[in-house]
Every structure is written in structure tokens, then in C-alpha cells.
Amino acid sequence: MSVQELTDILRNSRKIVFFGGAGVSTASGIPDFRSANGLWNQKYKRNLSPEEMVSRSFFERDPEDFFAFYKDKLVYPEAKPNACHYALARLEKMGRLRAVVTQNIDGLHQMAGSTNVFELHGSVLRNYCTRCRSFYDVNFILEADGGVPRCPKCGSIVKPDVVLYEETLDDNVIDGAVRAIAGADTLIIGGTSLIVYPAAGFVRYFRGNKLVVINKSVTQADEYADLVIHDDIAQVMDQAVKALEEQQ
């Protein structure tokens, strides 16, 4: 019944925005960042949280261990888009989805075919020299000699275009995401527990007709959403969009 309700909402919407988190990519084999356990700490004899390990200060203080953790826990080069990513791309082609706002850094939305994607926390697929700003792809990071990627042009460290803890979000991305959410007639919040700020606070800009929450666990938006589905988002979105396509 819930999937049918979602299909009905999609059919009656023309300016949908999808706001997603880590749960969108788990079906692609990318675990939730917060599931990064203590094994890394044991390996390196550290007593740091995952958040501390991907902080700006740790990047500057200990780049060797930063990149060891980063490449082990945040980069999944073999990951492919799942049914949710493809369903959203099809919604965009149908002229119903206006934008995807994502907290993920894996680039899977674009790989699936979505074109208007606001990556709040950046992307592992983009990497820049901290001095000369030369661009490098993800393979350059993964294959770096000695673990720390250094620019062959100037010798400086190449940093992933990912927003680390202690860093601020990109103003242009924020502006685009807020404008998209504010102009939506339907906002779908999916695969996120809405506990990471400032990103989670963006949903307050929504003034549209229908708010939908799809997440396996309870979120703080459940109480004021028009439709709440506690189920696997890949299956739910795939079923709802397929049902919509059959009605076209």
C-alpha cells in the first residue's frame, strides 16, 4: 500500500527533489560511514573516531594514516549504481525530478544518469593538488606510491574534493541545493537519519505539497511527513517508478 501511495504522489508531482544519504548507496556495497568500526584503530594503535580520522586537522597532521583510512573506508572504485539511483535517473528523464541533493561522495547518481546533482560533501572522484590545483582522478589517489598522493607537477599533496570534518560546505552547492528544495512540490528524503548537520537542516526550506520519508529506521522528519516508509529504499523507489512507468 505504501508503494502505491508513493506512486500516486510521483504521478501528481512535477518538481520532485530527492534528498539522500548513506542508505541510498548501501545496496551498492558501500557501508554507512558510521559503521566504520574499531578495526582500523586496532591496526594503527589509534584511539580516534571515524570522524576524527577524516578531519582536516588529521589530514594535515598525519596524511599517511589519513589516506590509509580514507582509501580503506571511503573509496569503493568497484561500486555500481543500484535500483534507487537508476529509478531517480528515470524520474528525471520523465521530467518529474528536478534535482538530487546528496550527502554521499561516491558519484553513483551521475553514473546512473542523473544530471542535476548537488553533492553537499563533495566527491571521491575529484581530487586536486593543494598548491597548483591540478586535477587528478580517483585512481591517482588509490595508486599513489607510499600511500600519500603527491602532485607530479609541484610535489604537493593531492587532496580529495571531499568536505572533511572541520571544513565548511561549498557556498555554490549550498545555494543550489536550497533553491532546489525551496522550489520543489514534493521532497523525498531517503536513506538518511537526518543527524548530520548542516546538511540535514536543508529540509526546513521545503514549502511544497508532499513530504515523503523512506528510511529503514525512524527519522526526525517522520512526525510531519505525509508518507513514511520504513523499508529498503532501492526496492521502494524501483517499484514505485516502475509502477509509474506502466501508467504512462
For residue range 97-153, list pLDDT tens digits in order. 999 999 999 999 999 999 999 999 999 999 999 999 999 999 999 999 889 999 999
Cα–Cα dist 189/201, whole Å: 12
pLDDT at 196: 77
What's this model's pTM, rounded to 2 decimal places? 0.94
pLDDT at 248: 79
Cα–Cα dist 205/184, whole Å: 10
pLDDT at 197: 79
pLDDT at 38: 44
Residues 37 and 26 grouped into a single domain: no
Residues 69 and 153 grouped into a single domain: no
By DSSP bridging, strand 186-190 and strand 210-214 are parallel
Residues 179 and 101 grouped into a single domain: yes
Cell numbers at 11, concatenated: 504521478
Q: Which residues in the chain show pLDDT less than 50?
A: 38-40
CA 147 to the chain's CA centroid: 25
Among 140, 162, 184, the domain boundary falls at: 162
pLDDT at 43: 61
Residues acting as catalytic residues: 121
pLDDT at 49: 81
pLDDT at 34: 62
CATH of residue 139's domain is 3.30.1600.10
Residues 133 and 190 grouped into a single domain: no
The contacts found for 197-204 with CB under 8 angstroms, 24 or more apart, are 198/169, 199/103, 199/120, 199/121, 199/169, 202/19, 202/101, 202/120, 202/174, 202/177, 202/178, 203/19
Residues 117 and 195 grouped into a single domain: yes
Residues 103 and 216 grouped into a single domain: yes
Residues 61 and 176 grouped into a single domain: no
Residues 54 and 133 grouped into a single domain: no
Residues 67 and 46 grouped into a single domain: yes
Residues 158 and 51 grouped into a single domain: no
CATH of residue 84's domain is 3.40.50.1220
Sequential DSSP letters for 51-84: HHHTBHHHHHH-HHHHHHHHHHHT--TT----HH
Question: What is the H or E stretch that residue 110 is in?
Answer: helix 108-112
Report the domain count for the chain.
3
* Residue numbers of the domain that contains 152: 125-162
**CA 21 to each of CA 135, 173, 242: distance values in angstroms, whole numbers, following the listed order:** 26, 16, 22
Residues 170 and 229 grouped into a single domain: yes
Cα–Cα dist 119/31, whole Å: 18
Residues 189 and 152 grouped into a single domain: no
Work out the angle at residue 113's Cα, subtended by the Cα atoms of residues 108 and 115, and round it to the nearest 5 degrees.
Answer: 95
Q: List the end-to-end C-alpha distance of the chain, in Å, as a whole number.
A: 20
Please check whether residue 6 is in contact with residue 175, taking contact to mean a CB–CB distance below 8 angstroms. Answer: no
The closest alpha carbon to 21, from 221, 210, 170, belongs to: 221
pLDDT at 41: 54
